[in-house]
Structure 1
Amino acid sequence: MPWYNPDDHSAPVIDPVSQIKSKYPGMQVPVLPARAVVFCLGKGIPVLKEHYSCFQIMEKLPGFITHSEVLGINGIPGVCFLHGGYAAPQITCTIETLRVLGVQEVILVGLCGGFGENLSVGDILLPEKIWSEEGASLHYLESPGFAQVTPPAPFDSIASFFMEKGYQVCRKSTVTTDAVYRQTWSKEQRWREMGCVAVDMEASALVNISNLYGIRNTVILMVSDRHPLSADSPAWEWGGADFGEMTRRFILDCVAYAVEPGK
């Protein structure tokens, strides 16, 4: 039986509105800014707090799984920041809740494993489409396939911003998976043949659910690790000696992009 039934119009047993009312009974829940920066990496919120004067919009984002605080930056209206959680089920709950709270655009800031031939740790991926191999999208769409990223800014403009910061930027397709330990040699070769060069665990779900609700979306991923291309290649390893500083810089540049007027 397909997970998604287009003829099922019954209400969900658990829904984001009920979760919000449960978390804040009898309280006026704030409407969030139209743009939300959703970090899918652990250092996002700590780095933001370290370098910016922040204020708390919500102590905890209501929801079934994710419970991040939601922050704003003093003097910069219209943008909020939160941790979106890890993997497709968490990011799906986050987007469902943000939609109810008034968010109209999301920017995903995350990490990915590179399996394309010419990628290096620290490169930035700005995929225009993302192949879905996660299960969350299958509850919303009959055949998810490639999720089409729909940013409000032109892709050329986004790429130019990060290239001017000194990054190598790749706009090829990526993949989102649920199963890290099932990324076999054969599967990654098939992904390459499809035109994909990197893999993460949240992006296609965020894009698919956002598109379903008319929420514009941008995906910005940094390569955190290089996958060996064959059994004879150097073994997999995470990051590198400078990866901590690389990640801090990446987060700050993504924040700078999100708050720049006109972006």
Structure 2
Amino acid sequence: MNHAPVPTPHNGAKSGEIAKTVLMPGDPLRAKFIAETYLENPVCFNTVRNMFGYTGTYKGKQISVMGGGMGMPSIGIYSYELYHFYDVDNIIRIGSAGGISDNVHVRDVVIGMGASTNSNFASQYELPGTFAPIASYELLEKAVNAARSQNTNVVVGNILSSDIFYDDNKNSSNLWKKMGVLCVEMEAAALYMNAARAGKNALCILTISDHLYTGESLSAEDRQVSFREMMEIALELA
């Protein structure tokens, strides 16, 4: 296998050092936690910008985990490079989200079947209409089956990938809620679009860390280390 360096300023890995399936939390410290907690013989392949990446094995299968940062521009860069420069086939985003729907609660696991967005990310494709970013069905089906085998209840549906954390429009969440959107995060739509354009696979699995309407929330430490159900579902997709 060719181990020559791959030309990207954002990832220090060489060709062959990243598995076909990559778990991508936003927080690089969560990537480090997953590697050290779940993977056998994890090897760090990236420390550029402290966006840690590791490759190891889980139940005998090779898998990588790497941080993706906050927001669609960040995950847009890292996922594009993994798909196009490192020949990755599957990226599973695992992250936190803010609950919108009355049907989700703090610590619930949500799987994004579709990712609505207020982002302009899709404009680059110059499509004659509105693109609907959706998960790869094969990964979605595997994730639901893995959750059932673990007796983890998951909520599957439409999520919102927002470019805005501090939204000046105080009514925006109410409008998305009326359309049945389950929760809000900031990355999945770009990941789904990059996967579609590359002919690859993507899925977003989330844990509700806070709820916009009930006021419930988890601490930063809980977000980093306590999302075990979500992590263990994602690891089964290797």
SS in 1 for 2:205: strand
Matched with 1:122 is 107
- Verify the 8 A CA contact 1:48 1:252 in the aligned structure 2: no
TM superposition shift of 1:181: 1.2
Within the candidate set 71, 83, 91, 1:106 is matched to 91
For structure 1, the residue ranges without an aligned partner over 5 or more in a row are: 1-16, 229-233
TM superposition shift of 1:59: 3.3
Q: Which amino acid aligns with 2:19?
A: P
1-side partners of 2:98 and 2:171: how far apart?
A: 16
SS in 2 for 1:238: coil
Change in 2 beyond 3 A, CA 1:104/1:66? farther
Matched with 2:25 is 39
2-side partners of 1:51 and 1:95: how far apart?
A: 22
- Verify the 8 A CA contact 1:88 1:135 in the aligned structure 2: no
Within the candidate set 206, 217, 226, 1:247 is matched to 226
* Structure 1, 196-205 or 48-57: larger mean CA deviation: 48-57
**For residues 1-263 of structure 1, what are the structure 2 equivalents within 5 Å?**
18-19=7-8, 29-30=15-16, 32-41=18-27, 42-56=29-43, 58-60=45-47, 67-73=51-57, 76-99=60-83, 100-140=85-125, 142=127, 145-153=131-139, 155=141, 157-182=142-167, 184-228=169-213, 234=214, 236-239=215-218, 243=222, 247-259=226-238
2-side partners of 1:170 and 1:210: how far apart?
A: 22
1-side partners of 2:36 and 2:226: how far apart?
A: 15
- Verify the 8 A CA contact 1:131 1:145 in the aligned structure 2: no
SS in 1 for 2:237: helix
TM superposition shift of 1:152: 2.5
- Verify the 8 A CA contact 1:38 1:109 in the aligned structure 2: yes
TM superposition shift of 1:69: 2.6
TM superposition shift of 1:238: 2.2
- Verify the 8 A CA contact 2:108 2:154 in the aligned structure 1: yes
- Verify the 8 A CA contact 1:112 1:221 in the aligned structure 2: yes
TM superposition shift of 1:254: 3.2
RMSD: 3.1
Q: Which amino acid aligns with 2:144?
A: A
SS in 2 for 1:128: strand
1-side partners of 2:99 and 2:114: how far apart?
A: 16
Aligned-residue identity in percent:
16
2-side partners of 1:238 and 1:154: how far apart?
A: 27
TM superposition shift of 1:241: 11
Aligned residues: 230
* Structure 1, 46-55 or 165-174: larger mean CA deviation: 46-55
Change in 2 beyond 3 A, CA 1:104/1:182? same
For structure 2, the residue ranges without an aligned partner over 5 or more in a row are: 1-5
Matched with 2:3 is none
- Verify the 8 A CA contact 2:111 2:154 in the aligned structure 1: yes
Change in 2 beyond 3 A, CA 1:202/1:66? farther
1-side partners of 2:38 and 2:173: how far apart?
A: 38
TM superposition shift of 1:44: 3.4
- Verify the 8 A CA contact 1:152 1:217 in the aligned structure 2: no
TM superposition shift of 1:211: 0.8
Matched with 1:14 is none
Q: Which amino acid aligns with 1:132?
A: T
Change in 2 beyond 3 A, CA 1:237/1:75? closer
